[in-house]
Structure 1
Amino acid sequence: MKNKFMSGFLSGLAGALFIFTIVLTIYVTQVEGRDSKSPEANVASEQNNGTAKATEVKETSSDEVMQKINKLETLIDKFYMEKVDDSKLADGIYKGLLASLGDPYSCYYTADEYKALMESTGGVYCGIGATVTQNVTTGIITIVKPFLNGPAHAAGILPGDIVYKVNGEEVTGKDLTEVVSKIKGEEGTKAEITIVREGETKPMEFSIPRKTVEVPTIEYEMLDNKIGYIAVSEFDEVTAEQFRKAVNDLEKQGEKGLVIDIRNNPGGLLDTVCDMLDRMLPKGLIVYTEDKYGKREEKFSDAKEEFNKPLAVLINGNSASASEIFAGAIQDYKRGTIVGTTSFGKGIVQSIIPLSDGTAIKVTVSKYFTPNGKNIHKIGIKPDVTVDLKEKLKKEVVIKKEEDNQLQKAIQVIKDQIKK
């Protein structure tokens, strides 16, 4: 086993592609053979001798790490009584390396986990049909919403259920994407989920069949008084086009105002949310990112499709990442009224780096800022109008619109604006 784990990792890393993400993918650059004029090369050329010495120390430290790994492998070979699965041992080394950063958003993906991650961006996958969220502080994973008529909903999974185990393995504190990849699988197989539910004295066991699930990223309708309503569950590849069609259709129906509901939306693709904001905003900056080198990347709207009617955007504590980019831009431009409760507070960007063996790593690489220069990490977007959802509704899978007090407040905001 000696040397093969770390050497395999390093050789895989050499063939990586950078795919910058907010939650998933933004764009790709080649890691090998960088242009000498790249920002990374410029930074390297400006390093002084002191920095070069620090690099030498780092290389020596890496040698020490390799020696210790070799020693540990020898001891495992000699003394561990059970049969060793080399691939799992290697994965453990890689996962431990990323976990040592102490960043809940940085992690290592096996080939299967990375494949599942990429599949989820397309809006179609094979799983149990539910969205989940994770408390960054406690690591607890919670069901946000089982999709209506999906396998999880049919099995009796409810919003607020805590995911304790997946296939017999405790998952609290594990990377959320890794856990989701374990829930997903081939159609016809079953995911064994152990749930902790408020009011129940013992964990509840569910055996849920996996089915092909098409994520309902956009739902829309015309409400009373010609007020349009669009619910966005995720920002996937298919969402921007669906959003445009929804807005245009409601316009044709004669809408007088619009409510966009991004409650419980965990985020998604940066390009998607920027495309959607380009449909709503005047000409100007949508969002920008800054990395540790001070490099700034900006996204702009061109005002060709600016939305000029009364607008309200619904958010809550599960509205994260790309959802916060959406709400933050609308708020900064005063293009609409943000209604609900303070959002999740994820204002950082991750990079997915695929490796040559089909695995990948995810690392935090930059912060993002709203058009007015606000970074909302661990702060969130504060609504213009604060309304907490009634307690009795928080466990409901489907909330009737006439009973949804947050939605009704947003509708009232639109009505008041129409009257002006």
Structure 2
Amino acid sequence: MSKKISLGVAATIAIIAMAVTFSLTMVVSMQMFNTTVSSVKNKERQYNKLSEIDRFVRSGEYFSIDEDTLNDRLAAGYMNGIGDKYAVYYTAKEYSEKQAVEKGTLTGIGVAVVNDSSSGYARVIRVYDNSPASEAGIQVGCFITAIDDEPTRNITSSARLTSKLLGEEGTTTNITYLTPDRQEQQLSLVHSNYRTPSISTAQLTAETCGYIRIDAFSTGTASEFKTAVDNLLQQGAACLVFDLRDNTGENLNAGLVAADYCVPSGEIAKEQDKDGNITVLRMSDENEINVPMVCLVNGSTAGSAELFANALRKMGGATIVGTKTAGKGVVLSDAQSFSDGSAAYITTGLLLDNEDQTWDGTGLTPDIDATLSVDEQNAYYDYTINTDPQISKAVNAAMSLTGQN
């Protein structure tokens, strides 16, 4: 038999429920209030400090202030100060160039350069097809000594060197160039569009070893990679060497897709967020490469290039040859673009492999060491596929796995 609740009891229950609800609401509200107040106070401190500095500078600064440069430096300083070593700010120009690099289509003179340690000049390490540089006869291994009258010895950043050789279509860059026989030339090159493939070399070496140089992981890498691998296997490659040296691995998804093509089914990599939650980034299908594989790495191999090498070793039995890698094992945010065209990235999680291990901060240790001597390091950009001592070690390792060496 059911019992009726008296009006007094019902009213008491209702009052208790209201009191509990009110208490919970007050607790949550107080937490939100405290967080908001703390945030407001921190922002007020930031603004007050910047305002003090700004008043001081503008009251007596002799030189004129470029407001755009100032704002960019403030933004870059903020990113440098948050304790995230991978966080980065790009000016509008830098971000536009980064997007072009990711798409593999740039506008400029058509070369890739690095700072040459022995001469101090900008050494040409790549000349892209159908570019102003290729049409002008610029060759790999030669030097650019000045860009628009600025000596390249004064430009210590490879990124800034590259930036100075890019520009809007139809504009001109004037360079001083040393020919292969070290004759100096003055060239005026009109910027045009050209493609920058992420795979610069794919060929057989030692008769049956397929060698693939992956310069970067970018938007077009997945299709380029599959084509290169398939072509070499069709040509009779009995093993494969993937050269990942100096590949900074900017595009995480490209590295995952390329690894998927090589390894058997399973979890390739995961992301762990700041609360410890783990998300699988990609599951590999059952398709895999059934020939021995070797990954050649160095201290500048980073990000998705490390992920690729690690996945091939743990899931596909690949051998890693070279020197310890950079140790960048994090997931970065998508680009946050701002109203002036600039953008920023922050770290959102830690990369984990299929065994929940991370290489962030430690790097990957090669199975076979291939450290270069000082003389070999100085000759790094002079080597060819047939003379490079690190490539030779990688090819020998791959061939030995086939029983041919």
1:156 to 127, 131, 142: 142
Structure 1, residues 374-396: CA drift from partner, whole Å, max 9, x if none?
22122111111112245444334
Counterpart in the other structure of 2:106: 125
Q: Report how far residue 56 of structure 1 moved.
A: 1.5
1:221–1:230 contact (8 Å) kept in structure 2: yes
Q: Give the Cα–Cα distance (whole angstroms) in 2 for the partners of residues 279 and 322 of structure 1.
A: 15
Residue in structure 2 matched with residue 314 of structure 1 by the alignment: 296
- Aligned partner of 1:242 among 221, 224, 231: 224
Q: Secondary structure at the match of 2:332?
A: strand
Kindly indicate whether structure 1 or structure 2 has the higher relative contact order, using CA contacts under 8 Å at least 6 residues apart.
Answer: 1
* 8 A Cα contact 1:122 1:238, kept in partner: yes
Q: How many residues are treated as equivalent by the alignment?
A: 350
1:121 partner SS? helix
- Unmatched tracts of structure 2, length 5 or more: 1-26, 177-185
Kept after mapping to 2: 8 A contact 1:349/1:365: yes
Alignment of 1:258-337 (within 5 A): 258-337=240-319
Q: Note the C-alpha offset of 1:302.
A: 3.3
2:346 to 363, 368, 374: 363
Give the partner amino acid of 1:408. S
Contact 1:288/1:368 (8 A) holds in 2 = yes
Offset of residue 52 of structure 1 = 5.0
Tell me, yes or no, if the aligned pair for 1:281 and 1:306 is still in contact at 8 Å: yes
Quote the residue 1:413 is aligned against.
397
Distance in 1 between residues matched to 2:28 and 2:402, nearest whole Å: 59
* Deviation readout 1:36-92 (Å, 9 max, x if unpaired): xxxxxxxxxx98955752442221121232233334434444333333333233223
Once the 2 structures are TM-superposed, how far is the Cα of residue 268 of structure 1 from its aligned partner?
2.6
Residue aligning to 1:372? 355
Aligned to 2:322, which of 322, 325, 340? 340
SS state at 1:190 partner: strand
Shift of 1:309: 1.1
The alpha-carbon deviation at position 306 of structure 1 amounts to: 0.6
Match in the other structure for 1:403? 387
Structure 1 runs (4+) greater than 6 angstroms displaced: 141-145, 166-172, 176-179
Please identify which structure carries the higher helix content: 2
Separation in structure 1 between the aligned mates of residue 51 and residue 152 of structure 2, nearest angstrom: 32
The sequence identity of aligned pairs, in percent, is: 25
Say yes or no: does 1:80 pair with 2:66: no
Residue 117 of structure 1: CA displacement? 1.4
Distance 1:155 1:76, change over 3 A: farther
Relative distance call for 1:233 and 1:123 in structure 2 (3 A) is: same
CA contact (8 A) 2:121 2:152 kept: no
Letter of the aligned partner of 2:358 in structure 1?
A: N
- Assess if the C-alpha contact under 8 Å between 1:191 and 1:208 holds in 2: yes
The CA deviation string for residues 121-144 of structure 1, in whole angstroms up to 9 with x for no partner, is: 0112235632669xxxxxxx9989
Residues in 1 aligned to 2:122 and 2:359: alpha-carbon distance in whole angstroms = 24
SS in 1 for 2:346: strand
Contact kept, 8 Å, 1:113 with 1:178, in 2: the verdict is no
CA gap of 1:396–1:178, structure 2 versus 1, over 3 A, is closer
The alignment's TM-score, normalised by the length of structure 2, stands at: 0.74
- Gap change, CA 1:371 and 1:153, over 3 Å in 2: farther
State the secondary structure of the residue aligned to 2:226: helix
Shift in CA distance, 268/85, structure 1 to aligned 2, threshold 3 Å: closer
What's the counterpart of residue 257 of structure 1?
239
* Cα distance in 2, alignment partners of residues 364 and 157 from structure 1: 37
* Structure-1-length-normalised TM-score: 0.71
- SS of the counterpart of 2:253? helix
182-191 vs 267-276, greater mean Cα deviation: 182-191
AA in 2 matched with 1:298: V
Aligned to 1:29: none
Shift of 1:308: 1.1
What amino acid does structure 2 have at the position aligned with 1:353? Q
Once the two structures are TM-superposed, the CA of residue 405 in structure 1 deviates from its matched residue by: 2.4
Task: Give the match's secondary structure for 2:217.
Answer: coil
- Which blocks of at least 5 consecutive residues in structure 1 are unaligned? 1-45, 134-140, 194-205
Does the 8 Å contact 1:131/1:146 carry over to 2? yes
C-alpha distance 81-407 of structure 1, shift in aligned 2 (>3 A): closer
In structure 2, C-alpha distance between the alignment counterparts of 1:57 and 1:170, rounded to whole Å: 46
Helix, strand or coil at the partner of 2:94: helix
Pairing partner for 2:91 from 73, 94, 110: 110
| Residue 347 of structure 1, CA deviation | 1.4
2: distance between equivalents of 1:417 and 1:397?
28
In structure 2, distance between residues paired with 1:179 and 1:50: 50
Rg bigger for which structure? 2
Change (3 A) 1:376 1:265: same
Measured at CA, do residues 297 and 154 of structure 1 come closer, stay the same or move farther in structure 2, by a change above 3 Å?
A: same
Query: Does the alignment pair 1:91 with 2:75?
Result: no
Q: What letter is aligned with 1:339?
A: V
Aligned residue for 2:305, secondary structure, equals helix
Change (3 A) 1:112 1:286: same
